[in-house]
Structures are given as structure tokens and as C-alpha cells.
Amino acid sequence: MTYFNSLSMVTLQHLVDVAQTYGDIEPIINAGGFTQTVAISAANSVMNAICAVAFPHKWNEFNIPPIYTNSLQQDYAVVNPAGVSGNLVLTAVSLVSSANGTAVYAGSVTGGDFNGYAGVPFVITGFVNSGNNGTFMCASSTSTTLTLVNTGGVLETHAGNAISAAGPLLNMSWLERGVAFDINNSAVPKPYVRIECGRQLPQIQASYVGGRGLGDPGFFCNWFPNRTLYYGIWGAANVGNATVGNNPVANSVYTQPLGSNSQPLNPITQIIDANGNYLLLTGYGHEGSGAPLAARNATPGTTVSGVGATTTWTVLDPNGWGFRFTPVPSTTGTEWQFNLTAQMKPVRFTSLSQTLAPLPDEFEPHFRQGFIAELYGRSPEKAVFAKYQVAWQQWLRSLQELRIKEDRELEENKFIPARTVFGASRSRSNFQGGAWPFNYPRP
């Protein structure tokens, strides 16, 4: 029996080879010798069109790192776990660009193909010149190089190491769905509630009950850029200023939420330091006598601790994604683990050797149809460009067929009314029915 890879094995070069068999398209691809530029531009347009379809493609899904509720905290900045790249062995700093403020680190960069690490911070160690060591943001990558934003880089041939720091969540396009587990409950299976993902939620403080209490869904969620989330101020009073309270102060204790009988009574886990950096708690412990402080405009992924503190805070990327939930978690009580699933941004093609992944091979004919249409749309010749309208209509039909091909399974096993027949003032979980069927788990 033959088994196939779930991801595409078809390269952009194959699509170029097919397109060059069209006599009127071949001159478009080879215009001025820029075959790669034209083909990559067309391919990126097609992938964006596929991902723009209002449909949750299974092949384009990914899971957000788990989020744990904190006392009275509605907003949650998120970082990808440190070390996901594994230890990368470097051999040299092979190029330094003062104009771009970058340094190119050569070595074995597993996972770096096609800018796989762009936007990920790396901790560099092991080089003799201190300017080559530190935490730097990756601007681009290949399988043999990391181009890092480092204005102090020095040319050097020496063994070094690179490992990814806790980087921002940048690859998300939109949220699909979620589930919240009562994670510290000893019961098996654990109680859970559904999370409904939407576009916009207001900042609130009070937990409220009624139509949006812990019925179904139990929580509502949307994403925001980190810079628009709410942050506390270390040492600030809980009254008499613009903050809404629950700020960390000297000797505050942050208790690990997993394994506790009840949600710990922790201060807010994200703050703005005195230099304007957004900081996220990534190591539990107690605060010391002084606030954590990173250098101004510190590289995301940089870690700091306050004077005498055992906690660890990580610098956030203001442009990374975070999340807002309602209702607001209680002071103590149930510790919820939020598991969210999202759609990735459309993959960006950078080379003809790149495959169509994550698109599966079964959808390659649809991609090819769009690729051909895009090339006709780039022709400067009137007679050839005239074929664009027909090719475009064929591409739209093919795009619809792709959507239908992905939608052959049963869509939902239930539907939930927005409110009960007794009126909007009554909770939809008060009465037995479609919104609360038999055997549906209560929190």
C-alpha cells in the first residue's frame, strides 16, 4: 500500500513548468528574465485568495499555547514557549550589515527554510566577541543561516549556539473555536465548557451572570494586538490612578496555577515597566523590593527579574497577538485552561523550490487554476489579457469547488438559539431545550 504525505509535495517550480506549456503565458513568466518574481507574486495572490474564503480549512489550523485563568484578569498576552527551535549549532558570523543593522549567523538551522524563523527571537551564546551574543530578533532565515537584528555584530568564525526565546504569536489570522477545561479537577473526564470566538469584546471588570453566565458557551473570546490589551503597573496602588487594580507590589507572590485546589489569588500577570516595555510573567515565585525593568525598546523574548525577586518576566512584542475573555474569571475558584484553535496566516512563498504546504496535494489542481488566471492578468498584451476574464471566472468556480470539497462532512451536531422563547431577560441555560440538551456537561 502506498501512503502519501498529508502536506503538499508539489513545488512552485512544477507550476511554472506547467504554465510554460501555454504558448501565450510563457512570455509572461519570463518577462525580463524575472521568472521567479512573477511566479512567486502570482502564487502568493492565489494562496491569499484561498485563505480569504470564509471557511475554517483543516489543513491551515493550529493550536494556541494553553492559557490559564488568573484572578480577575480578562486580557491575556501570549508567547510561544522558549526552546521550540531546539539547540541550533552555529559556526560563524559571516556577514554584518551596518546599513540594515543585521548580522548573518551561519550554521545548521533546522526549520529555518523559507523564513521559517522570521519574527522569532533567539538567544545566542558561545561566541568570543560579546557583541555577537545576546537576544536578537530574526529578520529572515534559511536552512543554513539566521539573519538577526544585531547592530553590534562582529565578523567571527567560532562555534556558537542559538535557541529560540519566548517569542510572539504572529502567525494567527483568525480564531475558530475553543474549549475551557476545569484543569485542576480530579474527575476524569474533566468538566469543560465551550468557548465561542468572535470579533470584538469590551473591557470589563465585574463578572456577571444571566444569558452569558457559564451556560453554553461558557466563555466568549476574541484576539487583540498585545499593545491594545490591558496591563497593570508594578507598585501602583489599586485606587487613585488609571489602573483598575490587582497590581503587583513588593513581595507579591505568584503561585503556579496548575495543581492547586483553587485558582491562586495572584496579581495581574502582565505589566508595563518604567521603560515602556510590555512584560509577561513566565516564571512563578515572589516579587522582590524592586520592579522588573528591561532596557528601553528591549528585544521581545528578553527575560528580566526585579531586585530580589524569584519571578521571571519576558518582554512582549507589542504587535504579537493576545486574547480577551468574558466573563472575567473570579478571584479564586475554578482554574480554567483555555484551549483555542485558530487559522494560520496564508503561507508566504519566497522560492520556486518551496512546496504548496500546508495545502494538501489534492487541492493542487485548484491552486494551479488560480495560478494560470493570475498570470493571464499580468500580460501587457491586449489579446492575451483578454483571456484573463474567462480564466478568472474558471478560477472562481474552482475556488468554490475547493470549498465544497472541504465541506462534505456533517457540519455541526447541534445548534444553539441566541435566547429562549421566554425572552432575552432569561438565561438560555435555565430551561431544557436546544441550548441545554440532555447530557450536555455543566461546569
Q: Identify the three-state secondary structure at position 151.
A: coil
CB contact at 8 A, 163 and 88:
yes
Entry field: residues in the chain:
443
pLDDT in the model for residue 438 = 46
pLDDT in the model for residue 5 = 52
End-to-end CA distance of the chain: 46
Domain boundaries, the chain: 12-60+344-405, 70-81+167-334, 88-164
Q: Count other C-beta atoms under 10 Å from residue 70's C-beta.
A: 22
Q: Which helix (H) or strand (E) holds 135?
A: strand 134-141
C-alpha cell at 309: 525577586
C-alpha cell at 382: 491586449
pLDDT in the model for residue 53 = 86
**DSSP assignment string, 257-296:** STT-SS------SEEE-TTS-EEEEEE-EE--SS---PPT
The C-alpha atoms of residue 331 and residue 310 are separated, in whole angstroms, by 23
* Residue that is written with C-alpha cell 494567527 in the block: 172
The C-alpha atoms of residue 166 and residue 172 are separated, in whole angstroms, by 16
C-alpha cell at 272: 508595563
pLDDT in the model for residue 414 = 55
pLDDT in the model for residue 409 = 80
Q: Which helix (H) or strand (E) holds 61?
A: strand 61-63
Residues of the chain with pLDDT under 50: 1-4, 209-213, 425-433, 436, 438-443
Q: Which residues pair with 140 in a beta bridge?
A: 147
Write out pLDDT tens, residues 117-167.
999 999 999 999 999 999 999 999 999 999 999 999 999 999 999 999 999
Long-range contacts at 224-228 (CB < 8 A, ≥ 24 apart): 224/75, 224/321, 224/322, 224/323, 224/324, 225/318, 225/319, 225/320, 225/321, 225/322, 226/77, 226/168, 226/278, 226/316, 226/317, 226/318, 226/319, 226/320, 226/321, 226/322, 227/278, 227/318, 227/319
* Residue that is written with C-alpha cell 494586538 in the block: 225
pLDDT in the model for residue 31 = 73
CB contact at 8 A, 13 and 353:
yes
